[in-house]
Chains A and B, each alone.
Chain A
Amino acid sequence: QVQLQESGPGLVKPSETLSLTCAVSGASINSSYWSWIRQSPGKGLEWIGNIYNSGSHSSNPSLTNYNPSLKSRVIISVDTSKNHFSLKLTSVTAADTAVYYCARDRYSYGLFEYWGQGTLVTVSS
């Protein structure tokens, strides 16, 4: 059974960078798509972006896709040695306060088939 677990600071100051990690168990981080999604009362569920890691040793084994509305502030990366992937969101404001979920993305259906439990991140000074 695929399981995902988000971790990271629950409080981030405005203008700083939000950093979260998603640990994956029950599946290899390679050869699958992995997404970040957030949920806030104001904007509902919002897809942030995804990453695919081929597992090859080429110079660029990862492919990323980002929500255009967040693209300028988002970086998603993968660490195959730890079987986890990460999210960085820069220059945060109060509007970035949300529950952040990681999920496995069944790309052929654009389906988020396995989700982590979610972690609340509050942006406040």
Chain B
Amino acid sequence: DIQMTQSPSSLSASVGDRVTITCRASQTINNYLNWYQQKPGKAPTVVIYGASNLQSGVPSRFSGSGSGTDFTLTISSLQLEDFATYYCQQSYSRTFGQGTKVEIK
């Protein structure tokens, strides 16, 4: 089974900060990597698919990169509505990372 490891598990940041979250796969997954945002009590929503494709309706401050085993989600200028938990997910066997909680500093 392909394991997904995110880092950090949580981070504190301020509005306007640049935030980077990392996801590593236990074996190569090419670019079959998706990112989700989840707010408390809500279902996850798609942020990035196929490693670097911005989901329709998602602000351009979000970007994704990477291929193979190492991937990154970047928020260029953190906004209040971005405080949430973010999950990566690989497409082969559909496993998720453990999540990264982005909190207000």
Binding site for B on A (CB under 8 A): 35, 44-47, 67-68, 101, 103, 106, 109-113, 115-118
A101 to B45, CA, bound (A): 12
Contacts A44-B99, A47-B95 given: A111-B46 contact, CB under 8 Å? yes
Quick one: which of B68-99 are within 8 Å of A by CB? 87, 89-99
Contact B50 A109 (CB under 8 A): yes
Contacts A45-B89, A115-B44 given: A110-B96 contact, CB under 8 Å? no
What B residues does A45 contact at CB under 8 A? 44, 87, 89, 96, 99
Q: Which of B45, B95, B96 contacts A115 (CB 8 A)?
A: B45
Known: A109-B32, A113-B46. 18 other contacts (CB 8 A): A35-B94, A44-B98, A45-B89, A45-B99, A46-B96, A47-B93, A47-B94, A67-B93, A68-B1, A103-B43, A109-B34, A109-B50, A110-B32, A111-B91, A112-B36, A112-B44, A115-B44, A117-B42
Chain B's closest residue to A105 (CB) is B94
B37 to chain A, nearest CB (A): 12
Residue B62 is within 8 A (CB to CB) of chain A in the complex: no
Contacts A47-B94, A115-B45 given: A110-B34 contact, CB under 8 Å? yes
Q: Is the interface of B mostly helix, strand, loop or mixed?
A: loop
Contacts A109-B34, A109-B91, A110-B92 given: A101-B98 contact, CB under 8 Å? no
Binding site for A on B (CB under 8 A): 1, 32, 34, 36, 42-46, 49-50, 55, 87, 89-99
A101 to B44, CA, bound (A): 10
Chain B's closest residue to A99 (CB) is B43
What A residues does B49 contact at CB under 8 A? 106, 109, 111, 113
